[in-house]
Amino acid sequence: MKKLFGVIGNPIGHSLSPHMHNDLFSLYGIDAHYHPFLVEKGRLAEAVTGLKAIGAAGFNVTIPYKTEIIPLLDWIDPLAKEIGAVNTVVNRDGLLAGYNTDGPGFLKSLEEGFPQLDNPAMLVIGAGGAARAIYFTLEKTGPLVLDICNRSLSKAESLVGESQLSVPSRALSAEEAAERINEYDIVIQTTSVGMHPETGESPIGLHNLNKKVHAADIIYNPAETEFLKQARKRGAKTLNGLGMFVHQGALAFELWTGIKPDADRMRETVLKQLGGAIC
What residues act catalytically? 66
Whole-angstrom Cα distance, residue 89 to residue 96? 6
Sheet holding 214-217, edge to edge: 171-172, 145-149, 121-125, 186-189, 214-217, 237-239
Residue type, 16: L
Check: CB of residue 253 under 8 Å from CB of residue 24.
Answer: yes
Question: Which residue ranges make up the annotated binding site for NADP(+)?
Answer: 126-130, 218, 241
Whole-angstrom Cα distance, residue 38 to residue 104? 26
To the nearest 10 degrees (0 to 180), the angle between helices 17-27 and 263-274 is 140
Question: Which residue ranges make up the annotated binding site?
Answer: 15-17, 62, 87, 102, 126-130, 218, 220, 241, 248
How many residues in the chain? Answer: 279
Q: Which H or E element spans position 217?
A: strand 214-217
Q: Is the dihedral of CA 141, 127, 278, 262 positive or negative?
A: positive
Q: What is the dihedral of CA 36, 136, 98, 73, to 10 degrees?
A: -110
Question: Which residue ranges make up the annotated binding site for shikimate?
Answer: 15-17, 62, 87, 102, 220, 248
